[in-house]
Amino acid sequence: MNTLKLAVQKSGRLSDSSLNLIKECGITFPTRIAKLKAQAFNFPVEFLYLRDDDIPGYVADDVADVGIVGKNVLFEKSDNLDIIKNLGFSKCRLSIAVPRDFNYQGVKSLQGLNIATSYPRILSEFLKKQGVTAEIHEISGSVEIAPSIGLAEAVCDIVSTGSTLVSNGLSEVEVILRSEAVLVARPDLAGPQREILEQLLFRINAVQAANNSKYILLNAPNESLNKIIDLLPGMRSPTVLPLAQQGWSSLHSVVKEDDFWEVIEKLRAAGAEGILVIPIEKMIL
């Protein structure tokens, strides 16, 4: 049977969002992750539940066809996979941090230091590009405590809010990578698996477009319509329907989540009333 083998993190910061995305794509599967593998009920995909660090290697070695992993892990572990789609969740950054009392004056301050990290490859590429030589001390976890126990003078670690760094007396001085979850595949993935991937991608695009947009309905006097239509181009153009009240229309369109508040202000200024904004579940462009 033709099945797309999709590697996802078994348990951790990527797991829930990865499986939620799959659910939003209308794919159902057994909810208990007790096993290494599970088959979806209504789509030809088989999940492999793995440690995130192993996902790039398993995709590269053909054990899985595609995987969902953070860019940080992807770039550290492999450079021969294609990023099929940025997924927009598990956003974080890989940063260099030094003790708060360190007199940091730019990357040259890192020269000759001992830097602890779980990302030796990404860090050494960064340092090389900056023309800085430093000692890289690879450790697999709790990197942020390395300076306080005298193991290193600086760290290179994953940061999201920065509170872990602060509570360990460190300050973030360089962002070397901005990361988010990505869908990856081997460049040579072909045949039925490539076709299933295309179907999955079609659904992911529909879910992402919907999450980034809102459906908007409003009433406006007919003389304001042109101005309002300019503000709400929608998918093709807005739907305009006459209201029972003479001289008024109802207008339906789609607005981008990012532009939302700015557009609403302008619509009100242009004479729109009774504005309703509704979430969209799927959106096929």
Q: Rounded distance, CA 231 to CA 281, Å?
A: 23
239-242/248-256 β-pairing: antiparallel
Stretch that binds Zn ion, among 46-54, 158-166, 199-207, 212-220 (CB under 5 A): 46-54
> At its nearest, how many Å lie between ligand ATP and the CB of residue 180?
8
Between 146 and 228, CB nearer to Zn ion: 146
> At its nearest, how many Å lie between ligand ATP and the CB of residue 118?
8
Burial 230-246 (b: 16+ CB within 10 A, else e): ebbebeeebeeeeeeee
**Contact between 125 and Zn ion per CB under 5 A:** no
Q: Rounded distance, CA 208 to CA 124, Å?
A: 35
Q: Which residue in 21, 24, 26, 46 sits closest to 36, CA to CA?
A: 46
Q: Which stretches of the chain bind ligand ATP, using CB under 6 A?
A: 9, 12-14, 51-53, 70, 72-73, 90, 92, 158, 160, 179
Total number of residues shown for the chain: 285
Between 52 and 153, CB nearer to ligand ATP: 52
Compute how many other C-beta atoms are within 10 angstroms of the C-beta atom of residue 9: 27
Q: Which does 122 bind (CB under 5 to 8 A by kind): ligand ATP, Zn ion, none?
A: none
Between 64 and 158, CB nearer to ligand ATP: 158
Between 53 and 125, CB nearer to Zn ion: 53
**DSSP, res 148:** T
Q: Which does 165 bind (CB under 5 to 8 A by kind): ligand ATP, Zn ion, none?
A: none
Q: Which does 92 bind (CB under 5 to 8 A by kind): ligand ATP, Zn ion, none?
A: ligand ATP
